[in-house]
């Protein structure tokens, strides 16, 4: 059943996704082409437009998925969706899984376009692209690079789960008189909760990365609390800059993601209201 639901999601969103991504790709590739061809005056603007479009690609795809989720779950199409002979949690799981898959594809496309941006920048500067990219890669620790990739993908998964869950919770009977304002309000509340919990996690969870000194980039079993205390000491310039960046916020995203996935599935399953 999940496979059939995923197929339906693709059919429902493919036209909007392909059109939106296609327009963005035209803008991005034209910008990079202008930079590669070294068009006077316009080459810098073209490169900037291409990079801006590349960075915006994944958020725009997420916005399309948000609109589709709301329309097919709580808009006019919601009446059809809720007549499907499956439990609400199964529909929620399929939509979240589809959102994760599509967002991962968008992230991979973004990575490829950023590599193309490096090529365009190298050509615009008169440098061999292979040498330019090789030099960039030598400045990045492979272990740290993979960690960043995994962390970004985790945040992407959290964003998809949180978006779907907050829309479903906001559409419950006690909130749906607010319309789309309910999930917007819940998103703002979640943002502030994440900020507070994230700060506490960065300070106290013993997992961080060195950001200064000869061992910069290495992971340590330490949070930022010691640096925070040092920064509070008056007249101590050594404590002004932190030596460790706490990474406990990743655990916050993991725990909250699980909670929101359970809450969102339960909301769809038991408290869906299309009034």
Q: Does the pLDDT value for residue 239 go beyond 60?
A: no
pLDDT of 217 above 70: yes
Axis crossing angle, helix 42-74 with helix 2-36, rounded to the nearest 10:
170
Q: What's the mean pLDDT in 226-255?
A: 75
Give pLDDT, residue 31: 93
Q: β-pairing, 219-220 with 208-210?
A: antiparallel
pLDDT of residue 13: 92
User: Any bridge partners for residue 208, and if so which?
Assistant: 220, 246
pLDDT digit string, tens, across residues 62-77? 999 999 998 888 887 8
Averaged pLDDT for residues 55-59 = 95
Q: If you write DSSP's letter for every residue of 177-218 in order, what string do you get?
A: GGTTHHHHHHHHHHHHHHHHHHHHHHHHSS-EEE-SSTTTT-
Sketch the domain layout of the chain as residue ranges. 1-139
Q: Which residues of 191-215 are buried (b: 16+ CB within 10 A; e: fewer)?
A: eeebeebbbbbbbebebbbbeeeee
> Which one is predicted more confidently, 48 or 133?
48
Task: Report which of residues 75 and 212 the model is more confident about.
Answer: 75
- What global pTM score does this model have? 0.87
pLDDT at 274: 63
Conformational region of residue 242, where left means phi above 0, alpha means psi within -120 to 50, and beta covers everything else: beta
DSSP string, the chain: -HHHHHHHHHHHHHHHHHHHHHHHHHHHHHHHHHHHTT-TTHHHHHHHHHHHHHHHHHHHHHHHHHHHHHHHHHSTTHHHHTTSSS-HHHHHHHHHHHHHHHHHHHHHHHHHHHHHHHHHHHHHTT--HHHHHHHHHHTS-HHHHHHHHHHHHHHHHHHHHHHHHHHHHHTBTTTGGGTTHHHHHHHHHHHHHHHHHHHHHHHHSS-EEE-SSTTTT-EES--SHHHHHHHHSTT-GGGSS-SEEE-THHHHHHHHHHHHHHHHHHHHHH-B---
At residue 234, the pLDDT reads 61
Enter the tokens of residue 10.
């693709």
Q: What is the pLDDT of residue 177?
A: 75
pLDDT value at position 220?
85
pLDDT of residue 236: 53
CA 235, 240, 243, 249 torsion-angle sign:
positive
Q: What is the mean pLDDT of the chain?
A: 86
Q: What does each C-alpha distance from 119 to 19, 127, 173 come to in angstroms?
A: 26, 9, 53
Q: Using one digit for the tens of pLDDT, what is the confidence trace for 104-133?
A: 999 999 999 999 999 988 888 777 888 777
Per the CB < 8 A criterion, the answer to whether 220 and 214 are in contact is: no
Q: What percent of the chain has pLDDT over 70?
A: 94
Is the pLDDT assigned to residue 5 strictly greater than 80? yes
pLDDT at residue 238 is higher than 70:
no
- Report percent pLDDT > 90 for the chain: 43
| pLDDT computed for residue 133 by the predictor | 79
What is the average per-residue pLDDT within 199-218?
82
């Amino acid at each position: 059943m999940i496979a059939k639901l995923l197929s339906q999601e693709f059919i429902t969103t493919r036209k909007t996704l392909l059109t939106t991504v296609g327009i963005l790709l035209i803008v991005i590739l034209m910008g990079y082409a202008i930079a590669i061809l070294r068009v006077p005056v316009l080459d810098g603007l073209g490169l900037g437009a291409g990079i801006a479009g590349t960075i915006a690609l994944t958020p725009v795809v997420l916005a399309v998925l948000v609109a589709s989720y709301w329309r097919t779950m709580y808009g006019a199409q919601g009446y059809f969706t809720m007549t499907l002979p499956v439990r609400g949690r199964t529909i929620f799981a399929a939509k979240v899984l589809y959102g994760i898959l599509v967002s991962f594809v968008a992230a991979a496309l973004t990575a490829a376009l950023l590599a193309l941006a490096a090529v365009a920048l190298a050509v615009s500067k008169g440098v061999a692209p292979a040498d330019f990219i090789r030099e960039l890669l030598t400045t990045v620790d492979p272990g740290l690079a993979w960690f960043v990739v995994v962390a970004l993908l985790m945040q992407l998964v959290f964003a998809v789960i949180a978006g779907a869950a907050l829309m479903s919770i906001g559409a419950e009977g006690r909130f749906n008189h607010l319309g789309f304002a309910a999930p917007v309000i819940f998103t703002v509340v979640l943002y502030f909760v994440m900020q507070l919990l994230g700060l506490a996690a960065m300070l106290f969870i013993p997992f961080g990365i060195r950001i200064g000194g000869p061992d910069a980039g290495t992971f340590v079993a330490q949070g930022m609390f010691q640096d925070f205390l040092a920064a509070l000491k008056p007249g101590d310039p050594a404590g002004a800059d932190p030596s460790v960046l706490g990474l406990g916020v990743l655990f916050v995203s993991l725990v909250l993601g699980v909670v929101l996935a359970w809450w969102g599935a339960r909301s769809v399953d038991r408290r869906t209201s299309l009034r």
